[in-house]
Amino acid sequence: MYRVSPFVRHFGLALLAGIAVATLWLTLSPASYYDAIEWRLAELPLPLWLAPFPLALTPVNIVSDGLMALFLFFIAKELWEAIRLDRGALTGRRGGLPLGAMLGGWIGAVLVWLISGALVETAMETPPGAGWPVPLGSDVVLCYLVGRLIFGNGHPALHLLLLITIANDIAGLIVLGLAYPASGLRLVWLGLTLAAVAVAWFGFARLARSDLTERDHRRAFALWPYAVAGVVSWLGVVLAGLPGALGLLPLVPVIPHADRAFGLFAEAEEFLHDPLNRLAHLLVKPLALVLFLFGLTRGGVDVVALSPTTASVLAALWIGKPLGVLLGAMAAARLFGFALPQGVQRRDLLVIAILTGMGFTVPVLALDSALPGGAMAEAARLGLVLSLLAGGAAFVTARLIRPR
C-alpha cells in the first residue's frame, strides 16, 4: 500500500502545540489571552448592502475564516481526487461503505446530542436542539496522528479513516453554514464565486489537454489565475453568509489535476507537477503554521468550564458517532453489498469508529455559530478537547482485540 506523506504528522503536532500553548496562556492570564485573540486590528465600515453587520478584523476571525480556507482547500483536493480520478478511493462502488459510515456517524451523533440536550438542562436561552452541527465534524490530522500509531503508515485502515474524517469535516462545515449562517444567507453573492470559477475554467483550465500549444500550456498551468480566482471565490462565499473556510472549495474541481489518484496524501504526489498538486505542495509548510495559529486562537481551554454541555459533546462524540459509524458501515455492507476495503478487518472498523470520536477543528468552528457564546461555548470547547482522549481508547482497544 502507498505511504502517507510525513507532513500530515507535522500538521497534527503543530495543532497540538497550539492547543497546549493556548491552554497554558489562558490558565495563567485569561484576560491577556482573550485580549490578544480578540484584538481589533482594523474596522471595516462596509455598506449595509454588502454586509449587514459591522466587521472587524481580529486574530480569531482572520485564522478561522481566512487562513483555515487554505487547510480546507488542501483536504478537499484529496477528497476530490478520491472521487474523480482513476483508481480513486471513492470511485464506483468503493465509496459506498465510507459514505454509509459517515452518514451513520452523523445520525448517531445528532441523535445523542438531541437526547442529551432534552435530558440535561444546558442554558435557558438556548432553543431545544441548538448546536446539533457541533459533533458532525471529526479531526483529520489528529485522527491520522493516532491512527498511524495504531495501524502503521501504509495500512489500508488508515486510508479508510482519512476518507471518513475528511468527508466529515468538509460536509459538516457545509451543513453548519446552511443551518447557522453567520449573518443571514445572501446566496446572490455566490454569483461572484461562480463567476470566478467560470473565468478560471474557460479562461485557463479548459486549455489543459494533451495536444495544447506551448502558449496554452503556460496559460493553463500558471498558478496566478487560480490564486486570483480563489480570492474572488472566497469573497463571494463570505458575503453570502457562509463560513469563510469554505471559500476556496468551489475552485478545486476546475483546477487542472493529475490523471489518476495515488492515494490520500500519498508521498508519490510530491513528484507531480499539475497545478492542483503544485498549489498543494506550496501550502505544506504554511499550513503547519496555520494549524498552530488555529490551535492558539481557538484551542484555549478553561479547565473549570465543566458543565452539562461538556457531557453532551462527549456523549455525542464518544457514544453516538462511533455507534453510528459501525451501524452505518454494516448497513452499507448488508443492504447494498458494499465491502470493506481490501486489507481492512471488522476489528479495524471498530478502532476507526472510536477514532472518529476525536473532534476539534470543524467542531470548534461550529461553536460560534451553533451555540450562544460565553459559558456554554467554553463548556463545549472543553468537551471537544477532552474528546481527543478517544485516541487513547482506540489505542487500548486495538491492543485488546489484536489477534494472537
Averaged over 251-265, what is the pLDDT? 81
> Phi then psi for 94, rounded to 5 degrees?
-65, -25
Minimum mean pLDDT range among 65-69, 73-77, 122-126: 122-126
pLDDT tens-digit readout, 122-152: 555 566 677 899 999 988 999 999 998 999 8
CA distance 334 to 330: 6
Q: Which CATH class is domain 7-49+59-180+289-400?
A: mainly alpha
pLDDT at 404 over 60: no
pLDDT at 218 over 80: no
* Whole-number pLDDT of residue 126: 62
Q: Where are the domains of the chain?
A: 7-49+59-180+289-400
β-strand partners of 260:
86
Averaged over 147-158, what is the pLDDT? 86
Minimum mean pLDDT range among 52-66, 86-100, 191-205, 354-368: 86-100
* Whole-number pLDDT of residue 122: 53
Q: Residue 258: helix, strand or coil by DSSP? A: coil
> Phi then psi for 12, rounded to 5 degrees?
-60, -40
* Mean pLDDT value across the chain: 86
The percent of residues above 90 in pLDDT, for the chain, comes to 45
pLDDT tens-digit readout, 313-368: 999 999 999 999 999 999 998 888 888 888 888 899 999 999 999 998 889 988 87
**What is the DSSP track for 118-170?**
HHS---TTSPTTTTTTGGG---HHHHHHHHHHHH-TT-HHHHHHHHHHHHHHH
Residue of 376 and 133 predicted with greater confidence: 133
**What is the DSSP track for 43-86?**
EE---TTT-SS-EEE-HHHIIIIIIHHHHHHHHHHHHHHHHHSB
In this structure, which long-range contacts are made by residues 119-123, counting pairs with CB atoms below 8 Å and at least 24 apart in sequence? 120/308, 120/311, 120/312, 121/308, 122/307, 122/308, 122/309, 122/312, 122/376, 123/309, 123/372, 123/375, 123/376
Residue with cell 496555520: 290
Minimum mean pLDDT range among 3-12, 138-147, 204-213, 352-361: 204-213
* Whole-number pLDDT of residue 64: 92
Which candidate, 72, 73, 70, 92, places its Cα nearest to that of 82? Answer: 92
pTM value is: 0.90
DSSP letter, residue 188: G
> Phi then psi for 310, rounded to 5 degrees?
-60, -45
* Whole-number pLDDT of residue 18: 95
Which candidate, 352, 362, 377, 375, places its Cα nearest to that of 144? Answer: 352
Averaged over 85-91, what is the pLDDT? 74
For 395: left if phi > 0, alpha if psi spans -120 to 50, otherwise beta; the answer is alpha
Look up residue 352 and give its three cell numbers: 476507526
